[in-house]
Every structure is written in C-alpha cells, then in structure tokens.
Structure 1
Amino acid sequence: MIEKNIDSIFINGQWQGATSKETETIYNPATLKAITEVSFGGKAEAQNAIQAASDAFKIWGQTTGRKRSRILYKASEIMLEESDRLGEILTTEQGKPLNEAIGEVKGAANFLLWYAEEASRGYGELIPSSVKSKRLMVVPQPIGVIGAITPWNFPSSMITRKIGPALAAGCTVVLKPSPETPISAIEIVKILERAGLPKGVVNLVTGDSQAIGEAFLQNKDVRLITFTGSTKVGKYLMRESSEHVKKLSLELGGHAPIIVFDDADIDKAVSLSLGSKFRNNGQTCICANRLYVHESIQEKFTNRLADQVKQLKLGNGLTTDTDLGPLINENAAKKVQAHLDDAVEKGASIITGGCKWKSDLDGYFYQPTILSNITDDMTIMNEETFGPVLPIQSFTDEETVLRKANNTDYGLAAYIFTEKTSRAIRVSERLEYGIVGVNDVFPALPEAPFGGIKQSGIGKEGGHHGMHEFLEMKYISISLD
C-alpha cells in the first residue's frame, strides 16, 4: 500500500513536510490516476539536509567498515524479504511490468549486499621508499557529503548503486530522487532507517529539482555529486560545480548499437535484441538504439524479430501477462513520435507497430516498433529515443559497421553477436564504449564496473571501482630521522 499525503523529506532522522507546506501529486503512468502526494521541498530543505549530513560525517566517516557492513547487509535482507511489496510500489509509480519491477528491487538489494561486503575492503598501500629513512603510505579516506541525483527509469537500483558504495566508503548522503518516482526512494530510506543507519547519514529531499540541485552545487560541504540522467544536465553540473572544484560521477546518455554478424546464432541474437530494446519499454540508457545486421541474414533476422515483437502485450504493469507498460509521461511519448515521424519522412519503412496504442487505459502507451530502410541522417540513428522503436540497418563488412557504430558522441554500451572468438575480441577492443556485451545484452551486475566514455559520462558505478569514486587517497610520508 502507498501512503497518502506523506511527509517525504527525511533530514537528520526525522520525516517532515516542506516548510512551504507545498506538495506534489504523483500519478500512475498507466492510468494517469493520482496515487499520492509528496512534500515539495527546495533549497532550504536541501541546505538543512546537507548540514545534517555534514554533522553526521564526523562520526560515520570514522565508523569501522565492519559496522557499516552490518547495516548495509541488514538493509539488503529487508529489501529481498519485501521485494514483492516494493515491486508493486515501483510498478505503480513507474509503469514497468511487475516481474521487471520485482527483479529491479532484487537487483537493488544485491548492490547493498555487494557493498556490505566491500565496506571492509577499503585497502590502502605501503610504498617501498627510495629513501632509507622514510616510510610511505597511501590511506583511503571517505570524501565527505555526497549529493546523489537519481532517475525515474530505475528508481530503486539507481539509488542503491549510488548510496551503497558511498555508505560503504564512509560518506554521508543527501538523496534527490526523480520527481516522477519518489516513492521507491522513500521506501529505501525507510529500510535503511530500520536497518539501524544513524541519524543524518542518509537524508532525502523531494521537490524542486532545480533548487535542490543548486544547493548541491553551491554548498562547499557537498564534495561529490553523483548523477544519472541526460548529457545536457551532466554538462550543466560540470560547469556549475567548478566553483568549488567538486568531484563528479556522471552516468549520462547512451546510443547503444547492436551488431549482428553473419556467423551469429540468429535465434539468440533475435531473442536478446528484443530483450535489450523493449525491457522497460526502451526506457533504458544501455538498451539498443541502433541495430546493424549483416546483409546476408538481414531478411531472416528481421522477420523473426518482427514475429516476436508482434506477440508482446501492452498494458498495466500490475496485470500478470503484461510485457510492456506505458512511457513515463507525455513528453516521452512526443519524443518517440517525433523520432518515428522523422525516420518515415526520410524513407524508413514500418515493419510492425508505428503508432500509439489505443486502449481503455489513459497512459502514454506506444506500440513496439521496428523500422527498416534506415539511413544515417535520421534522428533516430543519432539521438537516444528512450522508447520502443528499433531501427534496423544492414552492413556488408566489419570495418564499415565499426565506423558507423563509433560515429557518435556517446560511448556507454555496445553489443555484438558472433560465434568467432577472434572477431569477438577484435571488435570489442575497437568499439569506443565503456561497456561491451558479446552475445550478452544484460551486462550490469553489482560486481562489475558500469560507466561510459566520451559524452556518456565519467566515473564508474558497481564493483570495487564503484567504491573508489567515494574515496580520496591520502599520501602520508613519515621520516624516521
């Protein structure tokens, strides 16, 4: 059950409303019906939360890794125990099918588990000195207060992927969730509270994104901002954070290609391409945006993919047989339509789908769509669609398709399908992306680094690399003379 009219701001261990008494209504994207109201905080609440986090850091930063580990481990256990309930909440506010939502919650719990284990592994270094009378040490220390800004498309796992390593490292956090999906964030903070997290270590401010973001940027006590979202906003954060030379961890936009070579297992490539593109209705930063298929198998591949896409069922995510839920809002639907219209105007053919889905539901549903006769000048081949439209283009040789795949400012994820080991290694090494999947389109795991290159971001999340983002390496030189 989702509480009505809740005080959703959490500062120094206290749930409260906005000082302005303002609230914001949250809607179910499948039905467009109001499901709750949350507090609409702003700069004042964010500043109070930063102060609480700064005060709490004095103790939390000195807490042993083992003690931090126990709290994260307990929170992970609670999330797993309550995954069905949390998944239903996630579906209600975000729209994805319930089985996907429950899977996300379990994945979010696994991030907490991984960093519960990493909390005791913040290793330093002893450097052999070239000077006999000196001893040289590198000591890892937590950065301090973290401003965490999370997106709506994965409202649970993106939170734990950020605050898990931050807490494990000994940092304190002020969390600003997406205004579309604050309820999952509220539930996660409540779980951390139940797990025994001390007051002020994690604080939550819902409300005015611009005002809260400005507080993060302008307050020198915020030492690092971790953000997942658009490249445009990421660039803004980079510019504005220069005043205090803040550290940034940015996971930004993507434009992932899938390359299917002529030696690929076609059935596997079809099934996984469908899973990549249409998971979360295409609202995924690492999902397929462009599909390059060798000309010798393009017709067979396209026909098999179209047959499977036609079987996908749209509907309310709480309905058990739903494969695709709604898009998050009206702007998302307009963007999908604009990309489709541009492609068709420039000569693309619609293989299946191609329009909004009409039903008794009022949400922003769009039919899963496949396009052929694709040219490189189409918007959909150059910008992230974030919706259920997949363009397919043929290619003839490895060099040409590599050039096309790399011809973008983005570099988050790319995928290839081939049964040749030499090709898998060669092409993986030449793809200009932070993540490459070989016969695999679901590469994100708690134990592995996740992040892009070029304009897809800086820094890594996941794995032991993820905790490094929240640590400073202090060099200590001791003279024995």
Structure 2
Amino acid sequence: MQMMIGDQFTESVSGERTSITNPAKGIPAGEVPSGGKEDVDLAVEAAFEAFGRWKELPNSHRGVALFRSAGLIRQEADRIAHILTTEQGKPLREAKDEVLGAAAVFEYYAGSASLITSGYSDTLPRYGYGVVQKRPLGVCGAIIPWNMPILIAAWKIGAALVTGNTLVLKPSIQAPMAVLALGEVMERAGLPPGVLNIVTGKGTDAGDPLIRHDAVRKISFTGSIQTGQAIARATAGTMKRLTLELGGNDPMIVCSDVDPVAAADAALALRLYNCGQICTSPKRMIVMDEIHDAFVSRLQQTIPEVVIGDGIDPASRIGPLNNEAGRVGVEEAIQMLEDEGAHIFRGKLSAGLSEQGFFCPPALATGCAADSKVLMEEIFGPLIPVIRANDLDEAIEIANSTRFGLGASIWTQTINTAEQVAEELQAGIVWVNQHMKLPPEVPFGGVKGSGYGRENGLSFIDAYTEEKTILIARQGLF
C-alpha cells in the first residue's frame, strides 16, 4: 500500500518500506512506505496548497464530501474490516463495527456543518459595531494509535475537514493499512487532492517532523502519556494548539444493589473488547463487599468459556494482542500482581495457539490491594483486576487514586447514588450502568494525566477554528 500525499498515492522519498505483522500469525500482513521528514514536508505543502480552496467552500459542501465518504465506507466496510483485522488482530465483527462507527462519525460531522458559523456581528452602544469572524486554523496534524485506528482517524479527519482545515495524518506504524484504505475510499468519494494526506512511518521519523513543522497550526494526538508529554514539551515554544488524549485507567464501581451476575457479565464483555486494548475500557473493577464474592464467582465460571483465536475466525471471541511487547507487558503485570498477593485465575489458549501470534488468555486477579502499584498504571490487555470496597467513599477514593482521568462508570439502581458518584469521580466522561459506548454527539477527552482538549460534540468547532474581532467606530476616524 502507498501513502496519500496531494493527488498521488506514492512511495516514500527514501523508497524504503516497513513490514506490518499479522498479530495472530506472527507473519507479514503487508508493507507500507517508511515515511520521513521529506515526506512530511511534501504532505504539509500539499495540505497548505489545498487549504486556500477548501476553506472558501460553503460549510454544506464540505459536509457533503464527508457524507459521500461515509456512504462509500459503508459499502466497503467488509473489505476495510478485513484489512484491519489482519493488521490489528481484533475479531472481524469488532473491526466491522469500528468501520461502520467511522462512517457514523463522518455523518455526524456532515450534519453538524450547518452549525458552523462564519462569525457574528453586534451593535455596541456608544461605540459602533463589532464583527467577530470565526475562521479555520489552516494545516492541522493528527497522530493516531493502533488500537482503534479507523474510528480515531474519523474523529480527527471529520472535525478538521468540516471546519475548513486541511490535514496531515500519521497512523501508527503497527496498524496503518486500514487507514490508508480509508483515505483511498475518501479520495474516490470525491475529496479534493491535498485536503487529507496520510504519511506512514515511525514516530521518530515521521511523527516528530509533523509535530515540529512550522506550518502546522494544530496537533491532535491520541496515544501514551509519555509521548503526549514529549509532544507538549516539543511544541511549548511554538504556540501550536494541542489536543492530547493520553490513555486511561478507568474504574468500574459496582454497587451492592445491582445483580452481581449481570454486572460480572458486563465487566467481562467490556474488558475483553478488542482484547482489552481500549483507552476507555474498565480496567479496575471496584466491587462492594456485599456482592464481591458472587461477582468473582461468575467471572471464574465464564472466563474459561472465552474462545481465543484468529480474529478472522467467526468463533473467536477475542483475538491476539497487537504486538509481542504488549503481550509481555500484560504477562509481567499479572506476575507482579501475584507477587503483591493477588490471586490469579487464567483462561486457556486453544490448541495450536501457544506457538504462534501474540495471544494472551484472559486473567482474573482477585484480592488486589487498593493501592497496588501495578494498578496505578494503564494495563492494555485482557486482565480483570477486582478490588473489594466497603462503602462508596472508599470506592470513590480508590477510583480517583491514579494519575489518569479519562473515563469511569458507576453501576447502581439508585439515582441519588449515581448522581453523587458521577459528581465526585475525576474523569472526562462518566457512564451510569454502562461503559465505553461513545456517540459522536458528546465531547470526549480526559482530565489529569489523561490529557486535555476535547473531540466530538460541538466543542470541535472551537477546537479547529479561531476568532478575529473587528471593531468599527460609529462616526469618523476617531
């Protein structure tokens, strides 16, 4: 597959290519160009040239371009999903859900085009008139991770483009092929050349030059807290706008007034989605003492039933982790929890899977300490740690005890409890009796170490535009 720069699908200037690994088999899934600084320069130049024309289009025309893209994405959802599963590892049904979710995001932004105003004017008593213009920023940059590449790409593409900006997008080198397919579909749907450019390559080779490029007015990044901090430091003197979503360590507080079996089933389904590689999946189950044992018992019953396999196989409930480093990291976290005194209960791999791919059987950790050093950090994989809490105050204290603050959930049948806990949880989004579902109509982002800025919802308008005030005196020059 090739990069998308201006009106061309092209190789990198260096001519070098990077092999993408199929995580279910440990063999190559394909190749992409190894982009670098020169490729980023060309992409920014193409985006800058396209910006002059794109920004002058009526908002409705830009909305139509996204709407047409959504339609063609829906038609080709199976093809894109297959590419995504092959390079990322998730089950095919989850991959297709993600692709269709991206189409829905484009449809949302297309429908929101009518809400984007070019500004407003007002009469100012004893002064004259004030005109406030709202204009796009210009060339924007986006860097996305490998866990949900199509959906997260759609968040950033839709917001940037519908507000009149052009975009240079760098996908993760671990899962870039489906994103390239997405760009190719948008080009065939009629998106003008240069409006969207996709450069593949390693973060040090392509991501860093994009972040530092003088002509790039905004960077939207989704990834690790360490990389996000590095981006903030690198851009501190440039005055670029930043949106940083830096992962989460979401608590799921389960109150004693809910059915422990239903709550455990929900916890398992949510935690195993995408093999646990979701920023907003519940990563710490904080369960009230009264139902703790029943909750754990249900998980011990259902975890052995989880079918692990190649995401292409319809029988697989979960696929492999995306990469070997991730698998090793999860296994190390499980061992460290056991060293801390937790009790570990593991699922099993099917015959033949242990010697291929990056498979990791689900693990239940019980007896976890509330102040576990392991659980202070985000664990990206199918680990379900359960922490016992005696009351709501303790549960909230545990939930807020990490440096992250992306999402959280409270599970209860009492509305007053839901309202109280939702107010006290330190998170950018709080769910009640659900977790992880995220319609594009609502703002999404974190607090504390999970970053700053918001995506989706109408907040995208302010995130991708800037205001200019023009004051007109009522009489004469003075």
- The one of 240, 243, 251 equivalent to 1:246 is 240
Matched, 1:455 2:449: yes
Q: For residue 359 of structure 1, what is the aligned residue in structure 2?
A: 352
Q: For residue 281 of structure 1, what is the aligned residue in structure 2?
A: 275
User: In the alignment, is the contact (CA less than 8 A) between 2:47 and 2:167 conserved in 1?
Assistant: yes
Query: SS at the partner of 1:137?
Result: strand
How many residue pairs end up in the alignment?
A: 474
Alpha-carbon distance in 1 for matches of 2:65, 2:231: 31
User: In the alignment, is the contact (CA less than 8 A) between 1:371 and 1:389 conserved in 2?
Assistant: yes
Q: For residue 101 of structure 1, what is the aligned residue in structure 2?
A: 95
User: In the alignment, is the contact (CA less than 8 A) between 1:75 and 1:192 conserved in 2?
Assistant: yes
Residues 127 and 263 of structure 1: CA distance in aligned 2, closer, same or farther (over 3 Å)? farther
Alpha-carbon distance in 1 for matches of 2:411, 2:470: 49
Deviation at 1:244, TM superposition (A): 1.4
- 1:225-275 residue CA offsets vs partner (Å, 9 max, x unmatched): 001000100011011112211000111121000000111233432222112
- The one of 255, 263, 266 equivalent to 2:249 is 255
Deviation at 1:70, TM superposition (A): 0.9
Q: For residue 407 of structure 1, what is the aligned residue in structure 2?
A: 401
Query: SS at the partner of 1:424?
Result: helix
State the one-letter code of the partner of 2:289: E
Greater Cα shift, 61-70 or 375-384: 375-384
- The one of 422, 432, 455 equivalent to 1:438 is 432
User: In the alignment, is the contact (CA less than 8 A) between 1:265 and 1:417 conserved in 2?
Assistant: no
- The one of 295, 313, 319 equivalent to 1:301 is 295
Query: SS at the partner of 2:103?
Result: helix
Alpha-carbon distance in 1 for matches of 2:112, 2:204: 33
Deviation at 1:305, TM superposition (A): 2.2
Deviation at 1:358, TM superposition (A): 6.0
Alpha-carbon distance in 1 for matches of 2:389, 2:378: 21
State the one-letter code of the partner of 1:362: Q
Deviation at 1:137, TM superposition (A): 3.1
Q: For residue 211 of structure 1, what is the aligned residue in structure 2?
A: 205
TM-score (norm 2): 0.96
Query: SS at the partner of 2:115?
Result: coil
- 1:363-403 residue CA offsets vs partner (Å, 9 max, x unmatched): 11111110111113433310111011111011111111111
Name the % identity.
36
CA RMSD of aligned residues (A): 1.5
State the one-letter code of the partner of 1:93: E
After superposition, residues 37-116 of structure 1 pair within 5 angstroms as: 37-116=31-110
Alpha-carbon distance in 2 for matches of 1:357, 1:292: 30
Alpha-carbon distance in 1 for matches of 2:350, 2:448: 36
Greater Cα shift, 100-109 or 300-309: 300-309
Alpha-carbon distance in 1 for matches of 2:129, 2:259: 57
State the one-letter code of the partner of 1:286: T
Deviation at 1:432, TM superposition (A): 0.6
Alpha-carbon distance in 2 for matches of 1:427, 1:33: 47
Deviation at 1:351, TM superposition (A): 2.9
Alpha-carbon distance in 2 for matches of 1:294, 1:109: 39
Matched, 1:142 2:136: yes
State the one-letter code of the partner of 2:352: S
Query: SS at the partner of 1:181?
Result: coil
Residues 356 and 137 of structure 1: CA distance in aligned 2, closer, same or farther (over 3 Å)? farther
State the one-letter code of the partner of 1:359: G
- 1:410-447 residue CA offsets vs partner (Å, 9 max, x unmatched): 10000110000001011101101001010011331111
Deviation at 1:359, TM superposition (A): 2.5
- The one of 156, 159, 171 equivalent to 2:153 is 159
State the one-letter code of the partner of 1:83: A
Q: For residue 376 of structure 1, what is the aligned residue in structure 2?
A: 370
- 1:273-328 residue CA offsets vs partner (Å, 9 max, x unmatched): 11221100010001111111100100111111222222110000000111010011
Alpha-carbon distance in 2 for matches of 1:468, 1:317: 39
Deviation at 1:140, TM superposition (A): 1.7
